[in-house]
Structure 1
Amino acid sequence: MHRPSPIETQLATELAEARPDLVPGFTAELPGARAAVLTRLWRALAHEPLPWVTRRVRGAHSLALRLADGRALHGPHADPYATDAYVTAVRLDGVRYDDAARLMTDLGWPHSAGFAAELDHSAASLALSRADREFPAKKWPGRDWEWEQRVVDGHPFHPNCRSRPGFSAADQLAFGPEHRSAVRLETVPVAAGDCLLTGDWPDELRDGGRLLIPVHPWQAVHVLKDGPGEPWRTAHPLMSLRTLAVPGGPHVKTALSARLTSSVRDISTYSIEAAVTLSSFATDLAARTDGLLHITRTLGAASANSPDLAAVLRESPEAYAAPDERVLPVAALATTDLPGSPSWLAEFTRLTLGVGLRLLDLGVALEAHGQNLLVVLSGTGAPLRLVYRDLADIRLSPARLTRHGITAPGLTGRLVTDDGTTLRRKLFGSLVAGALAGTAGSGPALATALETAARDLPVTPDLTALLEGPLPAKALTLMRLTPQTPGDQWAALPNPLMPAR
């Protein structure tokens, strides 16, 4: 019988105080949550270039991993594109493990202890999210944030899909979008001369010679530690947790200096400086897609010269949907019946790949994962066009832009590269190995959709690379186990269109 971990016990204790009615559901959801996290970890162990795994041996019914220290791990075959929790246990030298945290602890690799704590928190938080979920009604939500509240399980492939260290049970209930709470944003006044400001800053966020910077209440208490700010507007948290939708107003991206999934979510000075320039450039470029892509414009961005006290105001994606249409993040498609139709999935794949490859050819690689990429659906569910938000991690190729007679924006730094591998990794890793795989739910379904959609797409070197080579995906577990290595690290996943060898 599984013994609860300290984090599971802690969350259960906190939950008994905050929402005692959820304790039975939390307990009941723990086994499934552990399996979901273990499945994501097994995918990483099976496919990422981990230096502690020296060989992978495919048997008739299982997969064996030979470790550098002589031990062996055994588990089921690992479909890198599957979203079901199909791994309930693996065996390390014959010992059964049914949770990812205990397995990672006993593997004993560098930085295993810290990563194991994150995995433990991920499973416990996931159980809490599932315990409080509302099962989707047949009627689709009417507002954009209601779609985001349906994404209960978080990242479909990251073992830290729900890791929120530093967040108590009460914090998660108050601030997690899946718990459907409204959040009262606060503001901190800063002398305008001490701020970096790009774009327009609304009058309601000005006080004489001071800018009022919206602050997430968790940030105000745990990071700024100057006490609560001035109450401003009530807003609804979106999937990223730190971005919130103000009813009738903008989406507000706040600094939230907590480690969520992998990264600490502050807002860099570089992002503030580039925000409006990127927005204007990307909006103009999207016009070359014949109305199939819209960019949510950045209205204004401000920082008190600190990544811990900054905010970005963006227009709502609802601006690009007619009254009889729905706009939703691609991650929320898995909460509908739409991906179950092969013809619908092929049509959606054709739309997203066509737009993504068109922009890549022009010189812009979108980070089009299921959170940043949204789709506009007709009243009958047909995918009509796309909306993209949050340009902070796209990549621009001056050489490709110049080839098409497009003047590159005056930006330098990490956003700018002409390296083809880097550009393709950015798009393919987020869109195909991320958004499309998460929507399809399995390798076979993804393969069918890609094969069908590709017949109608222009043949370019980028499309050929996608269809004939390994599929890049961020090596999310390797990155957590090698924090001393800066930047993204990558895995080469088996192409779903090519038979396994």
Structure 2
Amino acid sequence: MERVDLMPPSGGDDVMERADAYAAAPLLNCLLREVAHPLPEPGVYRLPGVDRLLRVRGTRRPAEPEVRAGGRWHRIGHAELVKLVAEELRRHTGRSNHELPAEMIDSRDAVAALLAARARATPPADPYLRSEQSLVTGHPHHPAPKARGGGPTASWLPYAPEAHARFPLVLLGVRADTVVEEGDASALDILGDAPPGYRLLPAHPWQLDLVDLADAFADGRLVRLGTTAFDAWPTAAIRTLYAPGADLFLKFSLDVRITNDIRRLWRHDLVRLRGTDSAVTAAFAAIPGPAAWIGDRGYRTARFAYEELAVLVRDGLRGHLLPGATPLLAAGLVEGFAGSPLPHAADPMAWWEAYLAAVVPPALAAFADHGVVLEAHLQNTLVAVDASGTPVQALFRDAEGVKLLPEVSRAAGWERLVYCLIVNHLTEVAAALVEHHPGLDPWPAARRALTRPGLPETAALLASPTLPGKTNLLLRWTGADGAEARYRPLPNPLAG
């Protein structure tokens, strides 16, 4: 597989060129997956709506787009690519959309700001945090993975994981008679002291800038209590922060569209949280092997700002990790970061087989034996490695994304699992591994790992010519809800 370097040598326009390349790659992935028609010549596609030929270099991260006109190939930058995509989608769908092209430009501008900030920042010493804060490209099949709501850079950059941010949490006191709490949120009480008649509630400083709580502060329902004595680190999810000293994850609302959704902790998700987390916790207690579920213990909020101020309390890492193991974000392994074991595996096939053995069996067992559909994509999976960098354990997270049978049909649950685990996750890790270790064929080992007697869906999966690919570009263009996943068939590398 040809490797395309998105980081050209430094020069006067280095940041701008790199931002164009980073922003173009996922947009091109979407366009090629969802709309374009491949032609026999490698890297050449027909855009049926505008009836133009498009040529790209590379496969996993397409680069250097060119359009055929006047008998010649013409290189186009990110701005021209956005215009081309918008015109293609207008003709393809018969609908206009002025919001998404603006998000694509915002995403590219955000990448430029992140690259400049990373050049000045010191990466965390902890390899786990480095993996969480490595996602400059982000979702490899989203048209605007780094869009930050269109706000000025100064409003979001101080809180960006990709800029190696760390910052204290704002501490609020919420009048006790207005507090809503479910599950175990007691860990919040160790973050500071609340005055009599109030309960402690941490807040994300960016969220406080986004919502109007002036009336609640004016009438005493809310009081400011300063900030935490420690910094928290934003993870890849942006609104989920990790406090290493307390070994605690906290997930907040952010009234900003990031990828497909406004990232607020919605009431309907919060009220089902305890049931979902309990079901997954019980499943993992019964699943053999070291795989772990990082549980969502509970949440606390204010009745008058139920969604806006909600804080979800998530388990830390230490109680779940095997002794001596180092957790790493799966998405970070795909993106790359200093200290990643993936490019340095002495025996890449053995590394891949160990990866599959850690990740695949618990995800299949959760579905087959317990009716739990994990959202086992790259950003919700941690893979712990031993001192040699070999995978030894998988840790899964985020009850909000979990589906339970029969809340969803078995067929819909299986399709979602296949998309998250295989299309979004394993195919990306496999491609990154092959990029660093040319000649490796990852799919026979993957076929073996996905063979599970007693689960008829796996036999059908290995025989199917296609896999379900989520259509994020068309989903956003047509204004569908982010939870309403729509799929188109992709070639199945497992078949045969």
Q: TM-score range by the shorter chain?
A: 0.7 to 0.9
- The equivalent residue for 1:324 is 324
The secondary structure found in structure 1 opposite 2:489 is strand
* Residue segments in structure 2 that go unaligned for 5+ positions in a row: 1-9, 218-222
- The equivalent residue for 2:409 is 418
Q: How far 1:310 moved relative to its partner?
A: 0.6
- Measured against aligned partners, the alpha-carbon deviations of 1:298-348 in whole angstroms (never above 9, x if no partner) come to 232123243212110111123322552201211122322425623312321
- The equivalent residue for 1:342 is 349
User: After the TM superposition, which residues 156-195 of structure 1 pair with which residues of structure 2 at under 5 Å, given as runs?
Assistant: 156-195=140-179
> 1:136 and 1:217, CA in 2 relative to 1: closer, same or farther beyond 3 A?
closer
User: After the TM superposition, which residues 65-464 of structure 1 pair with which residues of structure 2 at under 5 Å, given as runs?
Assistant: 65-68=46-49, 71-76=51-56, 79=59, 82=60, 84=61, 86-91=62-67, 96-99=75-78, 100-107=81-88, 109=90, 110-133=95-118, 141-142=125-126, 144-202=128-186, 203-204=189-190, 207-224=195-212, 226=214, 229-233=224-228, 234-249=231-246, 250-305=248-303, 306-322=306-322, 324-334=324-334, 335=336, 336-338=340-342, 341-362=348-369, 363-398=371-406, 416-420=407-411, 422-441=412-431, 448-456=441-449, 457-459=451-453, 460-464=455-459
In the alignment, the residues of structure 2 paired with residue 92 and residue 485 of structure 1 have an alpha-carbon distance, to the nearest angstrom, of 35
The secondary structure found in structure 2 opposite 1:302 is strand
* Residue segments in structure 1 that go unaligned for 5+ positions in a row: 1-23, 399-415
In the alignment, the residues of structure 1 paired with residue 365 and residue 67 of structure 2 have an alpha-carbon distance, to the nearest angstrom, of 45
Q: How far 1:267 moved relative to its partner?
A: 0.2
> 1:292 and 1:229, CA in 2 relative to 1: closer, same or farther beyond 3 A?
same
AA in 2 matched with 1:91: V
**1:64 aligned residue (45, 48, 58):** 45
For normalisation by structure 1, the TM-score amounts to 0.80
In the alignment, the residues of structure 1 paired with residue 433 and residue 472 of structure 2 have an alpha-carbon distance, to the nearest angstrom, of 19
For normalisation by structure 2, the TM-score amounts to 0.81
> 1:321 and 1:134, CA in 2 relative to 1: closer, same or farther beyond 3 A?
farther
- The equivalent residue for 1:494 is 491
| Aligned-residue identity in percent | 25
In 1, are the aligned partners of 2:467 and 2:492 still within 8 Å (CA)?
Answer: yes
AA in 1 matched with 2:48: L
In 2, are the aligned partners of 1:375 and 1:384 still within 8 Å (CA)?
Answer: yes
In the alignment, the residues of structure 1 paired with residue 262 and residue 140 of structure 2 have an alpha-carbon distance, to the nearest angstrom, of 19
- The equivalent residue for 2:477 is 481
The secondary structure found in structure 1 opposite 2:145 is coil
Q: How far 1:492 moved relative to its partner?
A: 1.8
Q: How far 1:102 moved relative to its partner?
A: 3.1
In 2, are the aligned partners of 1:160 and 1:262 still within 8 Å (CA)?
Answer: no
In 2, are the aligned partners of 1:373 and 1:389 still within 8 Å (CA)?
Answer: yes
In the alignment, the residues of structure 2 paired with residue 342 and residue 125 of structure 1 have an alpha-carbon distance, to the nearest angstrom, of 37
In 2, are the aligned partners of 1:30 and 1:123 still within 8 Å (CA)?
Answer: no
In the alignment, the residues of structure 2 paired with residue 376 and residue 143 of structure 1 have an alpha-carbon distance, to the nearest angstrom, of 11
- Measured against aligned partners, the alpha-carbon deviations of 1:283-309 in whole angstroms (never above 9, x if no partner) come to 121022213321112232123243212
In 2, are the aligned partners of 1:479 and 1:489 still within 8 Å (CA)?
Answer: yes
- Measured against aligned partners, the alpha-carbon deviations of 1:195-244 in whole angstroms (never above 9, x if no partner) come to 43111232346554433332111111122353894333231111111111
In the alignment, the residues of structure 2 paired with residue 66 and residue 72 of structure 1 have an alpha-carbon distance, to the nearest angstrom, of 5
The secondary structure found in structure 1 opposite 2:250 is strand
> 1:219 and 1:26, CA in 2 relative to 1: closer, same or farther beyond 3 A?
farther
Q: How far 1:273 moved relative to its partner?
A: 1.8
The secondary structure found in structure 2 opposite 1:353 is helix
Q: Which segment is superposed worse, 305-314 or 248-257?
A: 305-314
The secondary structure found in structure 2 opposite 1:295 is strand
In the alignment, the residues of structure 2 paired with residue 104 and residue 111 of structure 1 have an alpha-carbon distance, to the nearest angstrom, of 12
RMSD: 3.1
In the alignment, the residues of structure 2 paired with residue 102 and residue 158 of structure 1 have an alpha-carbon distance, to the nearest angstrom, of 16
The secondary structure found in structure 1 opposite 2:130 is helix
**1:467 aligned residue (462, 474, 477):** 462
- Measured against aligned partners, the alpha-carbon deviations of 1:14-54 in whole angstroms (never above 9, x if no partner) come to xxxxxxxxxx9894122233233323222222222x5xx6x
> 1:498 and 1:290, CA in 2 relative to 1: closer, same or farther beyond 3 A?
closer
In the alignment, the residues of structure 2 paired with residue 207 and residue 200 of structure 1 have an alpha-carbon distance, to the nearest angstrom, of 21
Q: How far 1:256 moved relative to its partner?
A: 0.7
AA in 2 matched with 1:64: Y
